[in-house]
């Protein structure tokens, strides 16, 4: 058959059509950012009873626990997902829990009653918590969870009920850089939003949520009180312990202050308080609440009270926003400089920074509700910034790690303001305090701020300054007797100091930490006044490192769970980097000769340190100078690189780079040769000190593998076994269980993001990692793994279609 020119052109379709379609497909997969991405079977680890009703995707992965409302040490609600008691990441069917979750156990399992029901055309569906347990015979169903996605500031669930799709979003705002007011507000948001294209004009939809009295105290045998207030187009429930115990905790809960649950006053809104099960039953029967307010205040465990809202949703009013918060007056107390009236120092009360703007709690609540659109806009910005920056610097695995770490890193700290002698808020007395969380309740622990600080350096260096300020103030007060840096300021929320000098002894550790953080803050801000203000005490700490840092006596490092050890290689390195940081501080403060002296000492110490620390094979550094067959993760190299000190020779970086793969286990690189456990923050510090993409990815890939194993059941744990992905102490032979959960050290996961920002500040333009050689490893592609099987199918289909077309019409 003789073909025309046009027909002959069709012969190219079998080649051209698949090429066009597949190219378009790849481009779309690389650029699309759907709200809920497609299923990730590798991370959907739901219990079997949930799989019968739900089939949810989880993106970027299923975390060990999902952050819901995480804004302070006392507003920290999580959904446990892991195999050690979690439910696989489904919002319906499990109560939220306060951050300890089950570590350690408490009589009430840290339950936070927070329920959600949606009624569609008379049928009621559970979407949050376990209100279903209130009903005999399962009078209402569970909404089907179709997807889950987390970003840096949000946890987003997608549901379906009776053909209606809706989103449930938990937003814990990360404020714009420099916006201390918004960062200090102790509120998070819950939003329920209908997806419009699933609605019909005839649909009758109403939403119900409540919180229970168990939010009020860690002791459920005490009495709680509650009230409802209407103001500024808002309505708020306020819940608290009847007998307030200022500056006291019970099972980590604050025993003073109020829990806030609020929403805007809109048409159709109904409210009620009373026995929680009765409120829910009334909503199921009537689709709304009756307005009754229970004033029979009682024990938390006695017919547990619920505080509920209900309202209809329509095509014209598709969403509702709730604010949840925890408000205390005052926040903390902190020791101040001694005088003749207070020779041991005076404890001064500090209030939430937001109090300097909003005298009344109601004003702050109304502002937060009105500010929700602005909070969403900035969440869009910061979520995208972290995602884009992390992907550029470390690929998809780094996006998963950094995005999960942000709320946790910031959720342990609070911004405060003091008062002057006249009782007015003092703008010169603004500070931040941090609760160590989990490992103990220490306050403003220096070696916890240190692993947290990469997140602060990347997000807002001013927050780092405010965290360091109380430590400088106490150290310069004359109350602390030691030459080195204080370990902490007390036990949260009481910064009572350590006037006896008997704080946990980490002298080299803390002196090195604070010198590095001080220089990092200066490099990011050029705050000369601040540097000069603290120069004398910084010089004192550096002098201590000169005397005791090169050959550290037997002592603790930040990894105190591993015990004391003399001549620690990594600790000596921290001292050297700290001295090098002091050299830069001296130069920037105008003390050129002192700067040169500190620099010379640091360089001399490096030569000695290399001789002491290298193994006989010269292919890695030892854990301690005297332990010849030992090794450790040399994470303090990161300080030299982050601050651009250039003290440590490139060959040391390369030696460690080449060594780590040889000691890596399935889920990570152990901290050192004594144990198989690893720290997530220090692994990410080591990733930041890597010189090759392969070593950087080794740490990140295995950290993601740990998360995906889903063995633990808590906010991003930072200490785990690299062979099993479980907490240390789970083996039959171990008698010491260690559970480090929800700690702000997750800020250390921002190491590479912080390095990028410090490099820009210091004029370093070279990309920090290079490709040493190709080897089998996980690709850092922008196409999510879920799409890979789909990609092959979609690439093949156009070829098949084109070939059939060719055979039928052109052959």
Q: pLDDT-derived band of residue 734, with 50, 70 and 90 as boundaries? A: low
784 against 76, higher pLDDT: 76
Beta bridge partners of 414: 433
pLDDT of residue 442: 97
Per-residue pLDDT at 220 exceeds 70:
yes
305-313 vs 205-212, strand pairing mode:
antiparallel
Per-residue pLDDT at 786 exceeds 60:
no
Helix, strand, coil percentages for the chain (3-state, nearest 5): 40, 25, 40
Nearest Cα residue to 415 out of 495, 332, 319? 332
pLDDT of residue 776: 40
The tokens of 265 are what?
A: 């006053």
Per-residue pLDDT at 37 exceeds 80:
no
Work out whether the CA dihedral 614, 615, 620, 625 comes out positive or negative: negative
pLDDT of residue 103: 81
Omega of the bond prior to 139 within 30 degrees of 0, cis? no
Q: pLDDT-derived band of residue 55, with 50, 70 and 90 as boundaries? A: confident
- Using DSSP's 3-state secondary structure scheme, residue 100 falls into coil
* pLDDT tens profile 762-772: 999 999 999 87
Q: Do 88 and 44 touch, CB atoms closer than 8 A?
A: yes
Per-residue pLDDT at 733 exceeds 80:
no
In 242-300, DSSP assigns E strands to 249-250, 253-254, 258-264, 270-275, 298-299
Rg (CA), the chain: 28
Architecture of domain 48-327: Distorted Sandwich (2.70)
Return all residues near 424 (Cβ < 8 A) that are at least 6 apart: none
Number of residues that make up the chain: 811
Q: Do 478 and 497 touch, CB atoms closer than 8 A?
A: no
The tokens of 423 are what?
A: 């009782």
For the residues 419-437, what does the mean pLDDT come to? 97
Work out whether the CA dihedral 336, 342, 347, 348 comes out positive or negative: negative
CA distance 205 to 222: 38
The tokens of 453 are what?
A: 């600080």
Per-residue pLDDT at 98 exceeds 60:
yes
pLDDT of residue 35: 46
Per-residue pLDDT at 198 exceeds 90:
no
Residue with tokens 């959600």: 116
pLDDT of residue 344: 86
322 — phi, psi (to 5°)? -120, 145
pLDDT of residue 807: 55
Per-residue pLDDT at 43 exceeds 80:
no
Per-residue pLDDT at 672 exceeds 50:
yes
772 against 210, higher pLDDT: 210
Per-residue pLDDT at 148 exceeds 50:
yes
Per-residue pLDDT at 140 exceeds 90:
no
CA distance 574 to 613: 13
DSSP code of 214?
G
Domain spans of the chain, in order of start? 5-36+786-810, 48-327
Per-residue pLDDT at 795 exceeds 60:
no
DSSP letters, 25-52, are: HHHHHHH---SSPPP-TTT----HHHHT
DSSP letters, 499-523, are: TTS-S---HHHHHHHHHHHHHHHHH
Per-residue pLDDT at 24 exceeds 60:
no
Helices (H), 228-360: 276-286
Q: What percent of the chain has pLDDT over 90?
A: 81
CA distance 155 to 601: 49
Omega of the bond prior to 216 within 30 degrees of 0, cis? no
Q: pLDDT-derived band of residue 54, with 50, 70 and 90 as boundaries? A: low
* pLDDT tens profile 467-505: 999 999 999 999 999 999 999 999 999 999 999 999 999
pLDDT of residue 737: 76
For the residues 393-405, what does the mean pLDDT come to? 98
pLDDT of residue 125: 97
Per-residue pLDDT at 348 exceeds 50:
yes
Q: pLDDT-derived band of residue 337, with 50, 70 and 90 as boundaries? A: confident
* pLDDT tens profile 580-598: 999 999 999 999 999 999 9
Q: What angle do CA 150, 153, 154 make, to 5 degrees?
A: 45
Distance from first CA to last CA of the chain, Å, rounded? 9
650 — phi, psi (to 5°)? -60, -30
Residue with tokens 């602005």: 374
| Summary mean pLDDT of the chain | 89
Per-residue pLDDT at 554 exceeds 90:
yes
Burial of residue 359 (number of CB atoms within 10 Å: 0-12, 13-18, 19+): exposed
154-161 sheet: strands from edge to edge: 57-59, 144-150, 154-161, 164-171, 187-194, 319-327, 258-264, 234-241, 223-231, 298-299
pLDDT of residue 732: 54
């Amino acid at each position: 058959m003789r073909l025309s020119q046009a027909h002959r052109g069709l012969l190219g379709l079998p080649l051209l059509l698949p090429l066009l379609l597949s190219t378009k497909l790849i481009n779309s997969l690389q650029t699309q950012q759907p709200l809920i991405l497609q299923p990730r079977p590798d991370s959907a680890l739901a219990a079997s009873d949930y799989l019968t009703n739900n089939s949810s995707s989880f993106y970027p992965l299923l975390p060990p626990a999902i952050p819901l409302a995480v804004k302070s040490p006392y507003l920290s609600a999580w959904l446990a997902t892991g195999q050690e008691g979690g439910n696989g990441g489904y919002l319906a069917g499990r109560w939220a829990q306060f951050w300890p979750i089950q570590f350690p156990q408490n009589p009430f399992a840290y339950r936070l009653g927070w329920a959600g029901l949606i009624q569609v055309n008379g049928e009621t569906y559970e979407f949050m918590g376990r209100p279903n347990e209130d009903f005999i015979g399962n009078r209402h169903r569970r909404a089907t969870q179709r997807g889950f996605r987390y970003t840096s500031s949000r946890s987003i669930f997608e549901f379906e009920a009776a053909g209606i799709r809706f989103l449930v979003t938990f937003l814990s705002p990360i404020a714009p850089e420099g916006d201390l007011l918004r960062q200090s507000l102790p509120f998070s948001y819950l939003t329920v939003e209908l997806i419009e294209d699933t609605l019909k004009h005839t649909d009758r939809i109403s939403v119900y949520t409540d919180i229970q009295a168990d939010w009020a105290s860690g002791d459920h045998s005490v009495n709680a009180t509650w009230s409802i207030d209407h103001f500024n187009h808002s309505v708020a429930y306020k819940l608290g312990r009847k007998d307030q115990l200022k500056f006291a905790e019970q099972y980590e809960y604050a025993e003073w202050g109020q829990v806030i649950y609020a929403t805007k006053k809109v048409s159709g809104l109904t409210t009620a308080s009373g026995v929680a099960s009765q409120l829910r039953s009334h909503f199921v029967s009537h689709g709304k609440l009756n307005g009754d307010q229970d004033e029979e205040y009682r024990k938390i465990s006695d017919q547990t009270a619920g505080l509920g809202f209900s309202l209809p949703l329509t095509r014209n009013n598709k969403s509702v926003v709730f604010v949840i918060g925890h408000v205390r007056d005052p926040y903390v107390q902190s020791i101040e400089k001694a005088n003749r009236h207070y020779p041991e120092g005076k404890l001064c009360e500090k209030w939430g920074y937001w109090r300097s703007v909003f005298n009344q709690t109601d004003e702050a609540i109304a502002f937060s509700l009105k500010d929700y659109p602005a909070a969403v806009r900035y969440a869009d910005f910061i979520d995208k910034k972290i995602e884009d920056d992390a992907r550029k610097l470390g690929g998809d695995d780094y996006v998963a790690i950094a995005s999960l770490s942000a709320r946790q890193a910031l959720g342990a700290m609070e911004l405060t303001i003091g008062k002057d002698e006249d009782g007015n808020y003092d703008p010169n007395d603004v500070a931040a305090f941090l609760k160590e969380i989990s490992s103990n309740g220490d306050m403003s622990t220096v070696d916890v701020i240190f692993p947290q600080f990469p997140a602060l350096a990347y997000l807002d260096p001013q927050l780092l300054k405010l965290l360091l300020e109380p430590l400088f103030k106490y150290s310069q007060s004359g109350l602390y007797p030691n030459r080195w840096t204080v370990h902490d300021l007390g036990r949260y929320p009481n910064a009572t100091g350590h006037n006896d000098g008997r704080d946990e002894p980490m002298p080299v550790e803390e002196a090195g930490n604070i010198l590095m953080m001080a220089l990092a803050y200066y490099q990011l801000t050029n705050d000369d006044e601040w540097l000069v203000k603290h120069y004398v005490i910084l010089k004192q700490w550096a002098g201590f490192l000169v005397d005791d840092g090169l050959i550290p006596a037997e002592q603790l490092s930040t990894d105190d769970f591993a015990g004391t050890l003399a001549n620690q290689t990594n600790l000596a390195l921290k001292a050297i980097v700290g001295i090098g940081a002091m050299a830069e501080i001296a130069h920037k403060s105008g003390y050129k000769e002192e700067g040169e002296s500190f620099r010379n000492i640091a360089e001399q110490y490096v030569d000695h340190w290399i001789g002491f620390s290298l193994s006989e094979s010269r292919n890695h550094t030892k854990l301690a100078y005297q332990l010849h067959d030992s090794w450790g993760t040399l994470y303090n190299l990161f300080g030299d690189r982050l601050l651009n000190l250039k003290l440590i020779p490139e060959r040391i970086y390369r030696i460690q780079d080449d060594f780590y793969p040889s000691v890596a286990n399935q889920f990570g690189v152990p901290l050192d040769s004594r144990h198989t456990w690893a720290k997530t923050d220090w692994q990410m510090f080591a990733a930041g000190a890597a010189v090759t993409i392969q070593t950087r990815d080794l740490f990140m890939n295995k950290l993601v593998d740990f998360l995906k194993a889903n063995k633990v059941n808590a906010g991003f744990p930072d200490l785990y076994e690299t062979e099993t992905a479980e907490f240390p102490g789970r083996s039959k032979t171990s008698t010491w269980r260690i559970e480090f959960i929800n700690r702000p050290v997750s800020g250390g996961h921002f190491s590479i993001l912080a390095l990028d920002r410090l490099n820009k500040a210091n004029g370093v333009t070279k990309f920090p990692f290079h490709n040493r050689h190709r080897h089998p490893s996980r690709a850092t592609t922008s196409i999510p793994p879920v799409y890979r099987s789909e990609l092959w199918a979609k690439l093949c289909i156009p070829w098949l279609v084109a070939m059939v077309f060719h055979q039928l019409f052109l052959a």
